[in-house]
């Protein structure tokens, strides 16, 4: 496993339960467009078991330190890395530890907007398609963020769960 942040301290991996409210508050304070806020909320719920499994208390999205260097403007916010076997593959992976939860949230909002992974956006990394509906967002979340496979077809249950969370997000972020 390659660590793209060898200058950062490697700290023990910790799964921290912080709940969703501090994350919701941080998303609202980040100042991103509403649809970006909604996507970050859904990704947080999916990737952190509703805020119950946050990497070292600052990374609720599984942001990795072994898949490449993130834009330099985020170097100040990446405090350390931690290593754990990935849930989906069982493979050893490196994860980013942010200096604060707030900076982790700002990072996610910026990256989701930059990748076009929100309603009104156009995905830029894998599928390169415009997103108009919650269903299209769900499909592209699984293709762009979860699997990295432009041909992956999420199950009906995956889409239903995602669109249900999207509907809940419209009540929180408007």
3-state secondary structure of 74: helix
DSSP 17: -
- 116 within domain boundaries: yes
Q: Token pair of 56, please?
A: 């070292």
Domain range holding 137? 9-172
- What domain count does the chain have? 1
Contact in structure between 137 and 119 (CB atoms under 8 Å):
yes
- 1 within domain boundaries: no
Calculate helix-pair angle for 156-172, 34-48, nearest 10 degrees.
130
Q: Rounded to an integer, what distance in angstroms lies between the CA atom of residue 93 and that of residue 130?
A: 31
- 3 within domain boundaries: no
Residues facing 84 on adjacent strands: 93
Q: Token pair of 157, please?
A: 């249950």
Q: Mean pLDDT in runs of 10 for the chain (174 residues)?
A: 95 97 97 98 96 97 94 97 86 96 98 97 95 98 93 97 98 96
CATH number where 18 lies: 1.10.530
- 141 within domain boundaries: yes
- 2 within domain boundaries: no
- Category of 128 on φ-ψ map: left (φ > 0), alpha (ψ -120 to 50) or beta: left
pLDDT at residue 51 in the model: 97
pLDDT at residue 1 in the model: 87
Q: Token pair of 153, please?
A: 């077809």
- 41 within domain boundaries: yes
Residues facing 9 on adjacent strands: 80
pLDDT tens-digit series, residues 117-167? 999 999 999 999 999 999 999 999 999 999 999 999 999 999 999 999 999
- Cα–Cα distance list, 144 to 6, 20, 102, 149 (Å): 27, 24, 24, 7
Is the pTM higher than 0.75?
Answer: yes
pLDDT at residue 74 in the model: 97
């Amino acid at each position: 496993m390659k660590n793209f942040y060898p200058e950062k301290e490697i700290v023990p991996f910790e799964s921290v339960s912080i709940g969703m409210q501090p994350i919701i508050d941080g998303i609202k304070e980040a100042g991103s467009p509403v649809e970006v806020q909604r996507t970050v909320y859904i990704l947080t719920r999916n990737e952190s078991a509703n805020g119950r499994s946050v990497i070292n208390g600052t990374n609720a999205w599984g942001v990795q330190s072994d898949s490449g260097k993130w834009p330099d403007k985020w170097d100040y916010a990446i405090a350390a890395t931690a290593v754990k076997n990935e849930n989906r593959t069982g493979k050893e992976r490196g994860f980013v530890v942010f200096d604060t939860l707030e900076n982790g949230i700002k990072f996610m909002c910026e990256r989701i907007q930059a990748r076009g992974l929100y309603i009104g956006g156009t995905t830029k990394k894998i599928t390169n398609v415009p997103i108009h509906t919650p269903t299209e967002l769900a499909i592209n979340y699984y293709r762009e963020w979860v699997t990295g496979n432009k041909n992956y077809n999420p199950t009906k249950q995956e889409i239903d769960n995602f669109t249900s969370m999207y509907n809940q997000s419209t009540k929180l972020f408007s």
